[in-house]
Amino acid sequence: MRRECEISIQGSTEMQVPERFICDHTFSADGPLLICVGGLHGNEPAGVEASLRISQAIELGKITGLRGRIISILGNRSALRQKVRFISTDLNRLWIPQKVNKIKDALINGGVKTLEPEEKEQLELYQCLEDILAQEKDRELYFIDLHSTSSHGSPFIICADSPESKSFATMFPIPIVSGLGALVGTLLEHMTSLGATSFVCEGGQHDSNETIIALEQLLLSVMLKLRMINGGEDASAREVLRSLTNGVPRRLHITYRHAITEKDQFRMKPGYRNFTAVKQGEVLATDAQGDVSCPSDGLIFMPLYQARGEDGFFLVTPFDEAN
């Protein structure tokens, strides 16, 4: 067991985030490798806390390991310390081959000091992942990226574009949102390219305790489904997750993305939650040009209630209606 991180997400304005690893538990030489990343965005600490709770339960004997290995890793340490989404650029948009090659070249040619803060974070994270995968070539690889949103609402899953990932994501009682292909350079894409069965789980609003609970129960359910831990059926975890979804349809597809830049001065109207029904023509926000109206009927998705972001909101519709 490796544990190099002790943090609290409550109270102080700055977190103590000393090292990269949250936990590393090996239960047996066989079984799957489950890699989890929390805090890829620094204002999303719930995934870190959820991973810590799972690790502590294992250490205290409340969870009994059967097989495999689970490793939880901190994403953007610098941004987590400051509780901001990122310092200079979004760490979850840097995983295209050209940018990965840039950090590798910097390491080889002694140019690490010239990298931007998130590029340094990316290099450390890349090295951690490479080292782990070199050790565990024979294990079946699973990857979960733990996130949260600036708006309240149901947890949901965004799965990688592979048959294995899509099939795995459907095993959990959480809405699955498809159609986010416009987002490039995500860690999800990178891990999927390395052969991982992968998905992102957005647990809820950044600062809500329910978000921590959702991500913790999701991790527990994943480990039970993979037969990594003892516990038989994961009925309890599934019931908690189901109760947090508030009847949101199981399959949804993105039909519209409202892209923004800083100069737009975009401001969402208050009170929208993920998956709230909206009508065509409804004023959802304002920007430098005036009112921003809803282009069509649908369910609002990830309305922006934070200072930084490239997406003002999305619209989604139940999957069957989108096809």
State the Cα–Cα distance between residues 241 and 176, nearest whole angstrom: 13
State the Cα–Cα distance between residues 321 and 86, nearest whole angstrom: 36
What distances in angstroms separate CA 133 from CA 19, 136, 228, one per listed residue?
19, 5, 18
Per-residue pLDDT of the chain (323 residues), as tens digits, is 444 444 444 444 455 554 899 999 999 999 999 999 999 999 999 999 999 999 999 999 999 988 999 999 999 999 999 999 999 999 999 999 999 999 999 999 999 999 999 999 999 999 999 999 999 999 999 999 999 999 999 999 998 888 999 999 999 999 999 887 667 899 999 999 999 999 999 999 999 999 999 999 999 999 999 999 987 656 788 889 999 998 899 999 999 999 999 899 999 999 999 999 999 999 999 999 999 999 999 999 999 999 888 899 999 999 764 44
| Residue 32 near residue 72, CB atoms below 8 Å | no
Domain 252-322 has CATH 2.60.40: no
| Residue 178 near residue 251, CB atoms below 8 Å | yes
**H or E element in which residue 217 lies:** helix 209-225
Q: Which of 263, 275, 262 is nearest to 303 (CA)?
A: 275
State the Cα–Cα distance between residues 77 and 45, nearest whole angstrom: 10
Reported pTM? 0.91
**H or E element in which residue 176 lies:** strand 176-178
Topology of the domain comprising 21-244? Aminopeptidase (3.40.630)
State the Cα–Cα distance between residues 32 and 223, nearest whole angstrom: 10
What are the residue boundaries of the structural domains of the chain, listed by start?
A: 21-244, 252-322
How far is residue 148 CA from its own chain's centroid? 7
Kindly give the pairing relationship between strand 141-149 and strand 33-38: parallel
